[in-house]
Amino acid sequence: MTVEMTTSGPAATWLKRRSRISAIEIVFWLATLLPFFLFPSYLSLASQIAIGALFALSVDLILGYAGIITLGHAMFFGIGAYTAAILAKHGWGEPLTGLVAAAVVAGAVGFVTSFIIVRVQHLALIMITLGLGLLTYELANSFSTVTGGTDGLGVTIWPIFGRFDFDLWGYTAYSYALVILFIGVLVARRIVNSSFGLALTGIRENSQRMPAIGSVYRTHLQKIYVVAASMAGIAGALLTQTTGTVSLDTLSFQRSADVVVMLILGGTGRLYGGIIGAIIFLVARDRLSDMNPQYWYFWIGLLLMAIVLVMPGGILGGLSRLFGRFVR
């Protein structure tokens, strides 16, 4: 352990100032309650957006903060999803313990794989994460007696606290996903605004230099990788629990790629970037595919190019630049 908790002095004050809750954040979280009142028939979509946001947040922790480029993070999402599903299949459909189990299993797999992850960089990292993701997918496909193979599994989830059943409208699903996302953001916030979080940023910026100033960067990377894996596992379990289904698609490359797209769209290394990205990506997908079920991917592509060209730092990056110009 080399992370020394700074409790006083100018550094501590600086960290505290960084982690102060801003007015925009409060407004944002109040706004997340709007769907209950304004669009009650969109709550199931809202719950899947919250899940996507939590997943994107987990990727932001490793990609945005620690600089680990991944194209296989759906592996943890899927492992979490299958953990919750298999538990429920075998008679334990309690949601909260299901989440914990998913976090533990995904975190454990994250820990084992982290030994490979910290040894490689750049292109090799993309290849390794991609390969691990594909391997997990094929593994789940071949153990079809456990995972249901290409058919997936349909499971029964018990009501939350024995009271709140997952209803057709999605009230329970959205409330549940939103609360978990909120906790996830609190945890992530605490992490990135600590000295450990600063060390991660240091690794991202210059991994050669970190050992020179006495930081054991591999251990740091492993830690954050495990945290991100657990968080992705929770997101996966949420999807299983709110929909009562799981399929191989939770492990697919498409999901790994989509989440990175969401993150780039919203802005990496900004905590809320993944959330904004998930909202924009999933809402756009829903609206566009409603308008044109066959060729909506065309418009998604156009939207992506427009955003990346106009705002290289993602939407949040672009906004903060714009905002900065006004202030000055």
Partner 1 sequence: MLKKTAAALALGFSLAAALSSTALAEGTVKIGLIMPYSGPFADAGAQMQAGIDLYVKEHGDEVAGKKIVLIKKDTGGPNPDVAKRLAQELVVRDHVDVLAGFALTPEALGAAPVATEAKKLMVDMNAATSIITEKSPYIVRTSVTIPQINYAFGKWAADQGIKHAYTLVADYGPGHDAESSFAKGFKEKGGEIVGADHSPVANPDFSAYVQRIKDAKPEAVYIFIPGGSQPAAIGKALADKGLTPPNTKLLGQGELTMPDAMESLGKNADGIITAFHYTLERKDPLNQKFVAGYKNLTKGREPDLFSIGGYDGMHLIYAALKKTKGDASGDALIKVAKGMSWESPRGPITIDPETRDIVQNVYIRKVEKVDGKLQNVIIDTIKDVKDPLHGAK
The three-point CA angle 84-89-95 to 5° equals 40
Q: Which run of H or of E encompasses 59? A: helix 43-59
Tokens 């990175």 map to which residue?
260
Would you count residue 146 as binding partner 1 (CB under 8 A)? no
Q: Mask of contacts with partner 1, 126-145, x by CB under 8 A?
A: ---------------xx-x-
Nearer to partner 1, 81 or 192 (CB): 81
Applying CB under 8 A, the span of 63-71, 129-137, 169-177, 195-203 interacting with partner 1 comes to: 169-177
162: left (phi over 0), alpha (psi -120 to 50) or beta: left
Least distance CB 139 / partner 1 (angstroms): 13
- Among residues 121, 219, 289, 320, which is the contact residue for partner 1, using CB under 8 A? 289
> Could you give phi then psi for residue 164, rounded to 5 degrees?
-95, 105
- Among residues 150, 190, 302, 306, which is the contact residue for partner 1, using CB under 8 A? 150
- Among residues 152, 266, 313, 317, which is the contact residue for partner 1, using CB under 8 A? 152
Applying CB under 8 A, the span of 9-17, 71-79, 203-211, 236-244 interacting with partner 1 comes to: 236-244
Instruction: Answer yes or no: are the C-beta atoms of 101 and 109 closer than 8 Å.
Output: no
Q: List, in order, residues 6 or more apart from 109 with CB less than 8 Å away.
A: 75, 76, 79, 229
**Strands 245-246 vs 153-154: parallel, antiparallel or unpaired:** antiparallel
Applying CB under 8 A, the span of 61-69, 88-96, 206-214, 244-252 interacting with partner 1 comes to: 244-252
- Tokens linked to 326: 């006004």
Give helix 43-59 / helix 253-266 axis angle, nearest 10°: 80
- Among residues 6, 121, 207, 245, which is the contact residue for partner 1, using CB under 8 A? 245
> Could you give phi then psi for residue 247, rounded to 5 degrees?
-145, 170
Nearer to partner 1, 83 or 247 (CB): 247
Would you count residue 168 as binding partner 1 (CB under 8 A)? yes
Q: Which of residues 190-209 bind partner 1 (CB under 8 A)?
A: none
Q: Which run of H or of E encompasses 110? A: helix 95-117
> Could you give phi then psi for residue 20, rounded to 5 degrees?
-65, 140
- Among residues 194, 196, 249, 311, which is the contact residue for partner 1, using CB under 8 A? 249
- Among residues 37, 208, 214, 326, which is the contact residue for partner 1, using CB under 8 A? 37
Q: What is the rounded CA–CA span in Å between residue 306 and residue 284?
A: 14
Would you count residue 256 as binding partner 1 (CB under 8 A)? no
Chain residues binding partner 1 by CB under 8 A are 33, 36-37, 40-42, 44-45, 48, 141-142, 144, 149-152, 154, 168-171, 175, 239, 243-250, 289-290, 293-297
